[in-house]
Amino acid sequence: MLPGICRSTVGAVRSVVGVSRRHFLQQSSSLGTVAPKLEDAVTNEDTFAGRALYMDAQSTTPLDPRVLDAMMPYSLAYFGNPHSRTHSYGWESEEAVEKARAQVARLIGADSREIIFTSGATESNNISVKGVGRFYKSRKKHILTTQTEHKCVLDSCRALEGEGFEVTYLPVQSNGIVDLKVFEEAIRPDTVLASVMMVNNEIGVKQPIPEMGKICRAHKVFLHTDAAQAVGKIPVDVNEMNIDLMSISGHKIYAPKGIGALYVRRRPRVRIEALQSGGGQERGMRSGTLPTPLIVGLGEACNISQKEMEYDHKRISALANRLISKVTGQISDVIQNGDPDQRYPGCVNLSFAYIEGESLLMALKSVALSSGSACTSASLEPSYVLRAIGAAEDLAHSSIRFGIGRFTTEEEIDYTAQQCISKVTALREMSPLWEMVQEGIDIKEIQWSQH
């Protein structure tokens, strides 16, 4: 008897999801299979006037008006090529680029000469992993990384595997953090680089980078960290943390898209095989004319986030707590993913048991949210980060990431919480899983029939 019920249950869940997706895409009103009342409760009531609120600060942030203001002159009058040495047009731009380089360096406790401008953290990660790997490949051919890294690090590692490197993808514990003992034990005599992200983009957990830095230094392994979600938001010091290479992204800290930086340590020196051939700019590590306006923007954004870090962090923490307590106060079975303490508070990842994250996202049309990384937001596959922390398949499917930033207001938090509460309640109302749980059936015990 039970398997029969189950099959129809699965069918019902599928059709609910299917309907809400179709509905979202076409904004049509013909529904068919699902009782119209419930469907109304989830989608139709909000023929809202106005643009959705932005709650996705991990995928990108808006430009800070102060950043744009600093950039404008370099998009207009001061258009010179910063590499032109023969006239004042070049000198003006070069001066602006060097000022920005110093601003980036100051934020992370580095020397200006250790900063290389790139197109973003993806390029910085590629240069770090492939560049270091290839330079030292005659002596060392092992790379250490984690399963929860950003796609661009994992993919760079895959590329190196194709070139004969060996890569260890370390697992993380259920709180999302790498076990330091496992990390140290994975280091081999031929390990050249360890690449571990500082703050995870999906669940916001902080890896113990200072401790890893010590371990790496002791074993003479270079430590690269993808700090796209960390720089400008939490204090970072490359010397205190023993970091050898670090990736920085502009558009996560209210600077424009298309600009980033790479920190490369000079002492002890880290050598890199450049990926791009050309004029030899940026100490030969990244050829190509520097985009002066974007660089000025990144510099100013670093300058602002250094001044504003304490204020922003305090405020964002308060907003995150407000959101979490409002949502968990009104809805049961909400799980926060990732370590509760070792985290950046602006990234709140919640799983709402017994409903599909994707259908909740579609129901929450008036709030711009994501279930994880923007790179994978087109697929319905559950996030590999949530799988890596051992989240059960159903919880991995029901997660939503709330990204809180400098420009988020209390009013927006309250609206988001209230919307979330009403949509989750409505979706659960029509979820057969939720109904079964209310009847006391343990869902984990059910033998789902194969299709």
Partner 1 sequence: MAATMANATRATVLKLYREILRESKKFTGYNYREYALRRTKVAFRENKSLTDEAKIKALIQEAEENLQIIKRQVVLSQLYKDPSLVIEGENAGQR
DSSP state of 306: H
Q: Which is nearer to partner 1, 384 or 415 (CB)?
A: 415
Contacts for 54 with CB less than 8 Å, ≥ 6 apart:
62, 368, 405, 407, 408
Contacts for 81 with CB less than 8 Å, ≥ 6 apart:
89, 90, 93, 289
Residue 101, number of CB atoms within 10 A of its CB: 25
Residue 309 interacting with partner 1 (CB under 8 A) = no
Residue 340: CB minimum distance to partner 1, A:
28
CA-closest candidate to residue 258, choices 290, 287, 283: 290
End-to-end CA distance of the chain: 17
CA-closest candidate to residue 243, choices 199, 272, 273, 212: 212
Residue 310 interacting with partner 1 (CB under 8 A) = no
Which residue in the block uniquely carries the two structure tokens 């000469």?
113
Residue 408 interacting with partner 1 (CB under 8 A) = yes
Which residue in the block uniquely carries the two structure tokens 């059960």?
392
Instruction: Return the residue of 182, 185, 407, 449 that touches partner 1, per CB under 8 A.
Output: 407
Examine the residue annotation and report whether 6 is marked as an active-site residue of this protein.
no
Residue 364: CB minimum distance to partner 1, A:
11
Distance CA 97, CA 298 (A): 10
Distance CA 357, CA 369 (A): 11
Residue 370: CB minimum distance to partner 1, A:
18
Instruction: Return the residue of 252, 406, 423, 428 that touches partner 1, per CB under 8 A.
Output: 406
Instruction: Return the residue of 166, 184, 333, 412 that touches partner 1, per CB under 8 A.
Output: 412
Instruction: Return the residue of 6, 17, 34, 68 that touches partner 1, per CB under 8 A.
Output: 68
Residue 315: CB minimum distance to partner 1, A:
9
Q: Provide the pairing of β-strand 347-352 with 399-403.
A: antiparallel
Q: Which is nearer to partner 1, 178 or 404 (CB)?
A: 404
Residue 49 interacting with partner 1 (CB under 8 A) = yes
Inter-axis angle of helices 65-75 and 292-330, nearest 10: 160
Where does this chain touch partner 1 (CB under 8 A) — which range of 48-56, 124-132, 208-216, 229-237? Answer: 48-56
CA-closest candidate to residue 423, choices 372, 342, 321, 355: 355
Q: Which is nearer to partner 1, 311 or 448 (CB)?
A: 311
Segment (H or E) for 117:
strand 115-118
Residue 162: CB minimum distance to partner 1, A:
45
Which residue in the block uniquely carries the two structure tokens 């003479």?
220
- The site map against partner 1 for 360-399 (x = CB under 8 A) is ------x---------------------------------
Distance CA 375, CA 26 (A): 24
Positions in 25-44 near partner 1 (CB under 8 A): none
Residue 448 interacting with partner 1 (CB under 8 A) = no
Where does this chain touch partner 1 (CB under 8 A) — which range of 61-69, 88-96, 164-172, 212-220? Answer: 61-69
Where does this chain touch partner 1 (CB under 8 A) — which range of 9-17, 59-67, 235-243, 431-439? Answer: 59-67
Residues that bind partner 1 (CB under 8 A): 48-54, 62, 65-66, 68-69, 72, 311, 366, 406-409, 411-412, 415
Positions marked catalytic? 375
